[in-house]
C-alpha cells in the first residue's frame, strides 16, 4: 500500500491498477480485491476479473443513509 492524500484509494497488483475508489466512487467490498487477484491468477483478463468480483457487490449505501444510521446508533452523553 502506498500512502496518498485527497481520498484516493487505489490497489495495484504486479504494477497494474486493479481497483480505484476514484474511478468507481466507492471502497471495495469485503473480499472484492482478493477476488480480482484470484481471477487474474486464474487467467482472467482484468475486465473479466473485476466484473466477476463486483457481481456480488451490493449497491453502495448513500452517505446520507449511512450518516442517518450512524447518528441513530449514537447514545447521548450523560
pLDDT tens per residue across span 29-68: 888 999 999 999 999 999 999 999 988 777 667 778 778 8
Q: Is 60 a domain residue?
A: yes
77 versus 62: the higher-pLDDT residue is: 62
3-state secondary structure of 46: helix
Specify the residue for cell string 500500500: 1
Domain that holds residue 49: 10-73
Predicted confidence band of residue 26 (pLDDT cuts 50, 70, 90): confident
The answer to whether the CB of 16 falls within 8 A of the CB of 37 is no
Distance (Å, rounded) from C-alpha 66 to C-alpha 17? 28
What was the pLDDT predicted at 65?
79
Q: Is 39 a domain residue?
A: yes
Query: Which three three-digit cell numbers place residue 77?
Result: 452523553
Q: Is 63 a domain residue?
A: yes
pTM: 0.64
Q: Is 43 a domain residue?
A: yes
Number of domains comprising the chain: 1
What was the pLDDT predicted at 1?
53
Q: Is 5 a domain residue?
A: no
Amino acid at each position: 500500500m502506498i500512502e496518498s492524500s485527497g481520498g484516493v484509494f487505489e490497489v495495484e497488483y504486479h504494477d497494474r491498477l486493479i481497483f480505484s475508489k476514484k474511478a468507481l466512487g466507492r471502497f471495495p467490498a469485503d473480499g472484492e480485491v482478493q477476488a480480482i487477484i484470484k481471477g487474474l491468477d486464474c487467467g482472467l483478463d482484468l475486465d473479466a476479473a473485476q466484473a466477476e468480483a463486483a457481481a456480488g457487490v451490493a449497491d453502495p449505501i448513500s452517505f446520507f443513509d449511512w450518516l442517518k444510521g450512524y447518528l441513530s446508533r449514537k447514545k447521548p452523553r450523560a
